[in-house]
């Protein structure tokens, strides 16, 4: 649950006031050290302040608190066309959350874009078995075209 400090910090971050935003995220973390969102936003503020090493540490803390942030990172890489790196992120998420249908589907999409149809099909079938109805469309297309 996002607290008021985090909400205020996000507004400041969007307004380009990274240092003030950072202070808000630090207050949010003092109130709740297990707030993955606050740690993630803190990492973003630190990047904007060009404090990259600190940003990395904050993001690592966020990932430890919420392993599905690996899926978010993987999706960013997928959108950027960095499929191998995206798959690495999806694998990290799946190592901690093996029953996440969305992550299986995203990994399948990345594998498909790399031309690894058999592996992609396995991931998409797993995603469907976990309740992702959207995976069925890709599975049908894969089996129909014999890719």
Q: Which CATH architecture has domain 4-65?
A: Alpha Horseshoe (1.25)
- 4-65 and 69-145 agree in CATH topology: yes
Question: Residue 92 CB: number of other CB atoms within 10 A?
Answer: 18
Q: Which CATH architecture has domain 69-145?
A: Alpha Horseshoe (1.25)
Query: For residue range 16-67, what is the model confidence (pLDDT) as tens digits?
Result: 999 999 999 999 999 999 999 999 999 999 999 999 999 989 999 999 999 9
Burial of residue 113, with CB atoms counted within 10 A of its CB: 0-12 exposed, 13-18 middle, 19 or more buried? middle
- The more confident residue out of 139 and 88 is 88
pTM for the model: 0.76
Q: Where are the domains of the chain?
A: 4-65, 69-145
For residue 146, the model assigns a pLDDT of 60
For residue 137, the model assigns a pLDDT of 83
Does residue 142 register a pLDDT over 90? no
């Amino acid at each position: 649950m996002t607290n008021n400090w985090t909400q205020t910090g996000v507004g400041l971050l969007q307004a380009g006031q990274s240092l003030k935003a950072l202070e808000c995220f630090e207050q949010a973390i003092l109130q709740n050290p297990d707030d993955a969102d606050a740690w993630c936003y803190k990492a973003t503020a630190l990047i904007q302040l060009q404090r990259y090493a600190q940003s990395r540490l904050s993001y690592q803390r966020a990932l430890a608190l919420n392993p599905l942030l690996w899926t978010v990172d993987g999706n960013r890489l997928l959108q950027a066309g960095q499929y191998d790196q995206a798959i690495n992120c999806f694998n990290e998420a799946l190592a901690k959350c093996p029953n996440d249908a969305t992550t299986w589907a995203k990994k399948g999409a990345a594998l498909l874009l790399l031309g690894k149809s058999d592996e992609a099909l396995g991931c998409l079938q797993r995603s469907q078995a976990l309740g992702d109805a959207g995976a069925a469309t890709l599975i049908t297309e894969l089996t129909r075209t014999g890719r």
